[in-house]
Amino acid sequence: MTQNLISYDIIIAGAGPAGLLLASELSEKYSILLLEKNKIGTTNKSWLTYKDRFKRLGFSDSFILNEFKQWNFKIQNSELCIEDNYICIDESKFLLYLKDIAFKNGTVFLEDTPLTSYAYTANSISVNNKYKSKLLIDCCGINSPILEKNKHLIKESLYINCYGYIGEFENLDNNNYYTMYDEGLDKISCFGLTKIAPSEAFILFLTYSTEKSNFKDYEERIQAGLKIHNVPPHKRVRDKIANYPTHELKCITLDHIVLLGDSASSSPAFSGMGFNECLRRYKYWSNFIDTWLENGKYKKRNLKIPKDYARSFNKLLFEMFAILVIHANINIMEHLMNATKYINPKHLRLIMRNEVSEKEVIDMIKGLFKEHAFLEFIKTLDTVTLIKILRLTSKLSKSLTLKTLYNLVHPHHKISLHDIYK
């Protein structure tokens, strides 16, 4: 059987941004087979990213549908405006362009061909009983059959459930906004409108949850949002409804297999901008894959990608803020929103972009605990909530130990060291 299998250096499953960015890069050096369940260039997602990042990677302006400078977030009565050079990408055009690069480099594409099975053979992996390679890269996204078979890889589930559609407008200002609602710790939701092209906007209602949502009642929330925000009349042209993962995996490798993109849940927990994450990371991913192939060692333990600090910091920050928002009867978002006061807008931008460094996060947290208004708020917290916040915060770094945080907080709250450590 084994000798009849057609052999490639790499097999990639999934022709979304992760699979195609990797194919465009790795095909310069390796023979690749790319299997796609549907047609290449179709997606029910839409992608916002940053112009400087996109241009730095050498991509042309012709993929850009719209540009805007401000993203407005609203929570209760406060507002936050994050300024950056946002762009919306023409998804299909971009995917087909990447396909073309990989194709010219010799990549073999099979459309309407899902990855259905895989098995280990002598020092390689066979796929669909027809093909084999040293390395299978799983870029199938949320419904990855490999993750489905290896649920033990999931450390903690967190999904973004996005229900929305593209609306066609006659008059549309360049205003992009998101309104966040607190509905309990596991229930943060938001209504948003993003202008993605001169006469088109993506209107959405999204929630964060530990299970994939079935979108029951979401239509009602969309309708309510349209009313509250006085969204002008428009034609509903295409639905965009999908869950996507932002949970953490214990590891993203199995023998001869690596999971990347949404298969590996690489969308950042707070922003969910997984396309942007593929852009941020694909050259780095390619380098790793190159090193593994050069080393010729395909055991799980040899395929370890170092921890992505930016990603885990963001997640912790998000959790911390979520606790502050929801449990603590204070609107930290409001504080966040007044970002110039508490967090340097530059840092906030970096958080959104997933580019924040360890040092910057630590400075930011330390700064937060020194703010007069923040410390006033600390006084109002019950001990349990405060301990929760401190524990989360101290996970961020060795220098922010519980003792350090205790010293920052203690004069403002009658918490004892014993409470913290018990």
**Which residues of this protein are in contact with ligand FAD, per CB under 6 A?**
13-19, 35-38, 43, 45-49, 114-115, 139-141, 143, 145, 162, 240, 242, 244, 261-262, 267, 272-276, 278
Q: Measured from the CB atom, is 262 or 360 closer to ligand FAD?
A: 262
Q: Measured from the CB atom, is 202 or 298 closer to ligand FAD?
A: 202
Q: Measured from the CB atom, is 25 or 323 closer to ligand FAD?
A: 25
Select from 19, 22, 3 the least CA-distant residue to 113. 19
The answer to whether 142 and 264 are in contact (CB under 8 A) is no
Q: Which residue has the tokens 């609203």?
A: 74
Burial of 345 (0-12, 13-18, 19+ CB in 10 A): middle
First to last CA, the chain: 60
Torsional sign, CA 232, 234, 236, 242: negative
CA distance 182 to 186: 9
Q: Measured from the CB atom, is 95 or 326 closer to ligand FAD?
A: 95
Q: Least Å distance between CB 140 and ligand FAD?
A: 4
Closest CB to ligand FAD: residue number: 274
Q: Least Å distance between CB 391 and ligand FAD?
A: 30
Q: Least Å distance between CB 272 and ligand FAD?
A: 6
Q: Measured from the CB atom, is 99 or 327 closer to ligand FAD?
A: 99
Contacts of 284 (CB under 8 A, 6+ apart): none
Q: Least Å distance between CB 204 and ligand FAD?
A: 7
Q: Least Å distance between CB 261 and ligand FAD?
A: 2
Helix axes 358-370, 402-409, angle to 10 degrees: 30
Q: Least Å distance between CB 5 and ligand FAD?
A: 18
Q: Least Å distance between CB 20 and ligand FAD?
A: 7
Q: Measured from the CB atom, is 225 or 261 closer to ligand FAD?
A: 261
Q: Measured from the CB atom, is 225 or 272 closer to ligand FAD?
A: 272
Distance of CA 178 to CAs 40, 165, 190, 202, 327, Å? 31, 15, 6, 11, 22
**DSSP H/E element including 407:** helix 402-409
The answer to whether 248 and 132 are in contact (CB under 8 A) is no
DSSP state of 233: P
